[in-house]
Structure 1
Amino acid sequence: MSATCLIVYASMTGNTEEIANLVGEGIEQSQVTVEIKDILEVDVTDLLDYDGILLGAYTWGDGELPDEFLDFYDEMESLNLESKVAAAIGSCDSSYEHRGGAVDILSEKLLELGADVVLNGLKIDYAPKGPECIQYGQSFAGKLVKVGELV
Structure 2
Amino acid sequence: MATARIVYASMTGNNEEIAGIVEEAFEDLNIDVTTTEVSQSDAADFEDVDICVIAMYTYSDVGEGELPDEALDFYEDLQQLDLTGKVYGCCGSGDRFYDDFATTVDKFDVAFAKTGATKGAENVKIDLDADEDDIETLEAFAKAIVDKQATM
SS at match of 1:78: coil
The match for 2:4 is 5
The match for 2:95 is 93
* Contact persistence 2:105–2:123 (CA under 8 A): yes
Displacement after TM superposition at 1:49 (Å)? 0.5
Query: Within 5 Å, which residues of 2 pair with 1:1-151?
Result: 2-61=1-60, 62-130=64-132, 132-133=134-135, 135-148=137-150, 150-151=151-152
Matched residues, percent identical?
34
TM-score, length of structure 1 as denominator length: 0.90
Q: Tell me the distance in 2 between the aligned counterparts of 1:129 and 1:17.
A: 14
Q: Tell me the distance in 1 between the aligned counterparts of 2:3 and 2:133.
A: 22
* Contact persistence 2:89–2:145 (CA under 8 A): no
Structure 1 unaligned residues grouped into runs of 5+: none
Which portions of structure 1, spanning 4 or more consecutive aligned residues, are displaced by more than 6 angstroms? none
- The residue type paired with residue 122 of structure 1 is V
* Contact persistence 2:23–2:33 (CA under 8 A): yes
Q: Tell me the distance in 1 between the aligned counterparts of 2:128 and 2:149.
A: 32
Q: Tell me the distance in 2 between the aligned counterparts of 1:91 and 1:110.
A: 18
Q: Tell me the distance in 2 between the aligned counterparts of 1:84 and 1:137.
A: 20
Displacement after TM superposition at 1:129 (Å)? 2.2
- Structure with more relative contact order (C-alpha pairs < 8 Å, separation 6 or more): 1
TM-score, length of structure 2 as denominator length: 0.89
Q: Tell me the distance in 2 between the aligned counterparts of 1:93 and 1:101.
A: 10
SS at match of 1:83: coil
RMSD: 1.7
- The residue type paired with residue 9 of structure 1 is Y
